Chains A and B, each alone.
Chain A
Amino acid sequence: SQELEQSPQSLIVQEGKNLTINCTSSKTLYGLYWYKQKYGEGLIFLMMLQKGGEEKSHEKITAKLDEKKQQSSLHITASQPSHAGIYLCGAAGQGLGYSTLTFGKGTMLLVSP
């Protein structure tokens, strides 16, 4: 079965600083999803990556999938308190006609003023 390891497990950054979260897969990634979760709430979809080398951005968040398709990174530029939460990566299964996802354990982000 596929396993996703996220690093770091948690981090605290000062408002305005940049940060990066990594997601490493035990197998080739055929679709990698990034979600954000606030305590007590559901997961909010951020971005999906499929192709090796692909990069997507939304506002101040950029996600990349490496060429070998076994690692993805999420980069936040000029962090704000609204970026605080748990970031989860999810991998889609190979050859399936639907988006069944296996998730990592998440990275908890705190942004200090």
Chain B
Amino acid sequence: EAGVAQSPRYKIIEKRQSVAFWCNPISGHATLYWYQQILGQGPKLLIQFQNNGVVDDSQLPKDRFSAERLKGVDSTLKIQPAKLEDSAVYLCASSRQGRNSPLHFGNGTRLTVT
């Protein structure tokens, strides 16, 4: 089966600019996650969708970050305006519905804010 697709792979922007990331999960996976991974750290959950509804966005900086998952498939994550500390790899993952389903990750988007 095809894996989780993310684009772009790399993005360089200046602070205060906006940026958007796209994710296409594995077909049939109801749950979609966005994680932020800062260099040298483990991934941190930003937001989780179950189909097209948000189930956890407690760690999403809502003053600048937004995400949507239209029609319960593809998802976009947006940052507006970006700050220097947003430089990180943004990972999208998906899983089947159910507690014991492993997360499958995409290759991520590496964001550099200058």
Q: Quick one: given A33-B102, A43-B43, A105-B40, are A98 and B110 in contact (CB under 8 Å)? A: no
Would you list which residues of chain A between 70 and 98 have a CB under 8 Å from chain B? Answer: 88, 90, 92, 96-98
Contact B42 A100 (CB under 8 A): no
Contact A99 B42 (CB under 8 A): no
Contact B101 A105 (CB under 8 A): no
Contact A31 B42 (CB under 8 A): no
- Separation of A92 and B44 alpha carbons in the complex (Å): 13
Tell which of B31, B33, B44, B100 has the most Cβ of chain A within 10 Å. Answer: B100
Contact A99 B101 (CB under 8 A): yes
Q: Quick one: given A42-B91, A88-B42, A106-B42, are A98 and B108 in contact (CB under 8 Å)? A: no
Contact A42 B106 (CB under 8 A): yes
A52 interface residue per 8 A CB criterion:
no
The interface residues of chain A lying within 8 Å CB-to-CB of B108 are 41-42
A113 interface residue per 8 A CB criterion:
no
Min distance, Cβ A32 to any Cβ of chain B, angstroms: 11
Tell which of A4, A40, A50 has the most Cβ of chain B within 10 Å. Answer: A40
Contact B99 A99 (CB under 8 A): yes
Contact B100 A43 (CB under 8 A): no
- The 8 Å CB contact of B99, one of A42, A44, A98, A104, is A98
Q: Quick one: given A42-B107, A42-B108, are A31 and B99 in contact (CB under 8 Å)? A: yes
Q: Quick one: given A42-B91, A42-B108, A98-B50, are A103 and B98 in contact (CB under 8 Å)? A: no
**Known pairs A31-B99, A45-B102, A103-B43. 6 more at Cβ < 8 A?**
A42-B105, A43-B93, A48-B100, A98-B101, A100-B56, A105-B40
Which residues of chain B have a CB within 8 Å of any CB of chain A?
Answer: 4, 31, 33, 40-45, 48, 50, 55-56, 91, 93, 95, 97-108, 110
Which residues of chain A have a CB within 8 Å of any CB of chain B?
Answer: 4, 31, 33, 35, 40-45, 48, 50, 88, 90, 92, 96-106
